[in-house]
Amino acid sequence: MSYYECVHALPEGSSSASRMALVARRLGYQGIIVANCSDSGNIFNFEAARKVRDIEVVRGADVLARDRKGLHNRVTSLRRRVPFLAVQGVSDMIVRAACEDPNVDVLIQHPEGRGNLGIAAARSAKQNQVAWGFDLSPMIRLRGGQRSRWMSIFRRNLVLARKFRIPMMITARPMSHLDLRAPREMIALAGLAGMEMAEARAALEYPGRLLELNRRTWVSPGVELI
């Protein structure tokens, strides 16, 4: 199974891309996507990370925008430059805009539960083939009532994803090599939150399948240039 994790490396995170790659390989990942925010500058040691053997290191982007226009401009400018483009769902407006944009690969659920992944967003995501990314970091760092509220939001969004058959991805959004969790731990955390084991495994494999699709050349919907 080809498991992938999306990470944030220096200068946005606290570990270099090469350190992330080495630890991820040891934990059992087949690849990592270094998806820093689009305005975070050059990724430290990215070329060195790509030379790490037995693991694929890909540059992606994690878009953080405040309004529709800003989101559209960033997504348009980044789409041809990276094979993986995620958007942080920081508000209802951004969630709707991201789900309505076929250039977006994944909408990441905000760890604090901001951004309503409602029925309208689910329909748009299905129509535009926008996957939903479930951030599991709150399962690790939250306690008590805060964790219970987060799990309630997670399960509500999971029900919608199942109903509309929206592709799912899971991530811990590690900012350091110490934040990385092995695939079996990620699957267990997703299970505690409400995912079936098969769903969690498919969600960890989804970034790899997405990369493969985005590297192909499509001249029109359903027509590939060989």
- In tens, the pLDDT along 3-38 reads 999 999 998 899 999 999 999 999 999 999 999 985
Closest CA to 130 of 99, 156, 96, 163: 99
CATH numeric code, 62-225: 3.20.20.140
Residue found under tokens 């920081």: 90
pTM of the model: 0.91
Tell me the longest C-alpha to C-alpha distance in the chain.
53
For residues 121 and 100, give the distance between their C-alpha atoms in angstroms, rounded to a whole number: 8
Indicate if the pLDDT at residue 98 is higher than 60. yes
Domain ranges of the chain: 62-225
Output the CA–CA distances (angstroms, integers) from residue 208 to 5, 33, 123, 157, 215, in the order listed: 9, 9, 24, 23, 11
Helix then strand count (H, E) for the chain reads 9, 10
For residues 29 and 193, give the distance between their C-alpha atoms in angstroms, rounded to a whole number: 22
pLDDT in tens, 110-124: 877 677 889 999 999
Helix (H) or strand (E) holding 223: strand 223-225
